């Protein structure tokens, strides 16, 4: 399995070759910092995002349907995390450090997009702090990705690539970070094409029968459903120390029939009556404490698995064998199609 250029052709890595592509230089640089055995080819990268948000006033899924690509915050100017994707900003500086300056002179469309490696095969994706939905990418994308632990915002010193990854997986498995922070960050160095690189869009059931589901069905990838995030106000009131009592109070005010879910927070975000950062903290409370009991990432084992194979693996959901991914698809779920937001 080799990394591919944007055209779809594979690239043989050669450390002595003068490289023209920032993407290739970035991959080579991180490869030189990585160690260990190859990655299990049955694992997947996921891209978590909020499927009901807008970009420049346009619904994100509608935009994705038109563009056919998942792009970085350097292109969109929006983010589910921090928004510092500008020359000299934090994201620019982190990328310069991690990738050896490979992208310092690159255009916005050349820069990587961000996700996480789903080492626990969690039905809600590897990094739900960034959103209730996720795209699950194909096995072919693994070779065009780099990885770090912890998140690049912490200026990590441990890195991996698909061919040299076991050291990073073991490091993450031994750490005891909070469940919202316990993910291996992935940087994908090729355009993520919805019709070729996405196995499925996985949605929260709060969006059944909504415009989100209707828009998702127009995308060129399957749609699946996870168990959903729901948090009762009684449990919410017990968590003032997690993000702050003011966000517990805001969550209480937003709750419908005594419960919070992803759709309620999304409706509040589009209404524009609350600061985005405040709603992000409310989402963190829901994502951390509102998962179905079997869905807590910290309770699922890390897959140290089998080594990287050539080509696609597995026989279900594009590579997750039956019974090992911790997922649940409601009986009425449609197997159709899906798409992303921004990193």
- What pLDDT, on a 0 to 100 scale, did the predictor assign at position 332? 30
Instruction: For residue 5, give the H/E element and its range.
Output: none
For residues 88 and 161, state if they share a domain. yes
Q: What is the token pair recorded at 341? A: 């937001």
Q: Are 303 and 40 in contact, with CB atoms under 8 Å apart?
A: yes
Shared-domain flag, residues 166 and 253:
no
- Kindly state whether residue 5 falls inside one of the protein's structural domains: no
User: Looking at the domain assignment, is residue 330 inside a domain?
Assistant: no
- Spell out where 50-183 has E strands: 54-55, 58-59, 69-70, 113-117, 133-137, 145-149, 158-161
Q: Which of 250, 271, 290 is the last residue of a domain?
A: 290
270, 290, 310 - which closes a domain: 290
pLDDT of residue 109: 86
Q: Is residue 340 part of a domain?
A: no
Using DSSP's 3-state secondary structure scheme, residue 116 falls into strand
Which one of 246, 263, 290 terminates a domain?
Answer: 290
pLDDT on residue 89: 78
Tell me: do 137 and 82 sit in the same domain.
yes
248 and 128 inside one domain: no
3-state SS class at 341: coil
pLDDT given at position 294: 54
What is the reported pLDDT for 307? 44
Q: Does residue 185 sit in the same domain as residue 239?
A: no
- Nearest one of 185, 179, 61 to 129, comparing CA atoms: 179
Do 50 and 180 lie in one domain? The reply is yes
* Residue 236 backbone dihedrals phi, psi, to 5 degrees: -55, -45
**CA atoms of 118 and 52, how far apart (whole Å):** 23
Bridge-based pairing of strands 113-117 and 133-137 is unpaired
Q: Is residue 12 part of a domain?
A: no
**CA gap 217, 200 in Å, rounded:** 11
Q: Report the pLDDT value the prediction gives residue 56, as an integer from 0 to 100.
A: 83
**Do 71 and 160 share a domain, yes or no?**
yes
**Alpha-carbon span 46 to 218, nearest angstrom:** 20
Q: Per the structure, how many domains does the chain have?
A: 2
Three-state DSSP class for 69?
strand
Same domain, 133 and 221: yes
Phi, psi for residue 272 in degrees, rounded to 5: 75, 20
pLDDT of residue 289: 98
Residue in 224, 220, 65, 50 with CA at minimum distance from that of residue 133: 50
Question: pTM here?
Answer: 0.81
Residue 326, domain member (yes or no): no
| 336 within a domain of the structure (yes/no) | no
Domain membership of residue 268 as a residue range: 230-290
Q: At what angle do helices 262-271 and 276-289 cross, to 10 degrees?
A: 180
Residue 114: helix, strand or coil by DSSP? strand
Would you report the helix, strand and coil content of the chain in percent, each value rounded to 5?
35, 15, 50
In a domain, 276, yes or no: yes
Residue found by looking up tokens 């709603």 in the block:
279
Cβ of 169: how many Cβ atoms within 10 Å? Answer: 24
CA gap 148, 117 in Å, rounded:
10
| 73 and 29 housed in the same domain | yes
180 and 53: one domain? yes
Per-residue pLDDT, 90 = 84
- Same domain as 258, residue 214: no
- The predicted pLDDT at position 302 comes to 64
Q: Is residue 163 part of a domain?
A: yes
Residues of the chain with pLDDT under 50: 7-20, 80-81, 296, 298, 306-343
Do residues 220 and 245 both lie within one domain? no
């Amino acid at each position: 399995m080799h990394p591919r250029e944007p055209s779809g052709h594979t690239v043989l890595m050669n450390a002595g070759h003068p490289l023209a592509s920032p993407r290739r230089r970035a991959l080579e640089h991180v490869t030189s910092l990585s160690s260990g055995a190859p990655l299990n080819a049955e694992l997947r990268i996921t891209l978590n995002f909020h499927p009901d948000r807008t970009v420049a006033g346009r619904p994100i899924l509608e935009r994705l349907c038109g563009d056919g690509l998942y792009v970085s915050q350097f292109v969109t100017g929006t983010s589910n995390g921090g928004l510092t994707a500008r020359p000299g900003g934090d994201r620019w500086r982190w990328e310069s450090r991690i990738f050896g300056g490979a992208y310092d002179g690159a255009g916005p469309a050349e820069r990587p997009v961000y996700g996480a490696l789903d080492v626990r095969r969690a039905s809600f994706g590897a990094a739900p702090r960034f959103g209730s939905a996720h795209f699950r990418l194909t096995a072919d994308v693994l070779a065009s990705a780099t990885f770090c632990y912890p998140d690049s915002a912490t200026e990590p010193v441990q890195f991996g690539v698909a061919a040299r990854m076991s050291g990073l997986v073991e490091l993450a498995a031994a750490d005891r970070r909070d469940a919202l922070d316990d993910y291996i960050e992935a940087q994908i160095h090729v355009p993520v094409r919805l019709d070729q690189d996405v196995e499925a869009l996985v949605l929260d059931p709060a969006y059944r029968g909504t415009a989100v589901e209707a828009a998702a069905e127009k995308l060129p990838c399957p749609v699946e459903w996870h168990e959903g995030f729901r948090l009762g106000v009684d449990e919410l009131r017990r968590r003032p120390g997690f993000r702050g009592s003011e966000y517990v109070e805001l969550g209480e005010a937003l709750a419908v029939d005594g419960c919070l879910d992803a759709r309620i927070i999304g409706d509040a975000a589009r209404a524009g009556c609350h600061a985005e950062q405040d709603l992000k903290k409310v989402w963190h409370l829901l994502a951390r404490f509102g998962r179905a009991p079997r869905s807590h990432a910290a309770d699922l084992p890390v897959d140290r698995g089998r080594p990287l194979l050539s080509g696609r693996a597995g026989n279900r959901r594009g590579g997750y064998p039956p019974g090992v991914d911790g997922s649940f698809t409601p009986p009425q779920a449609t197997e159709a199609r899906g798409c992303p937001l921004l990193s």
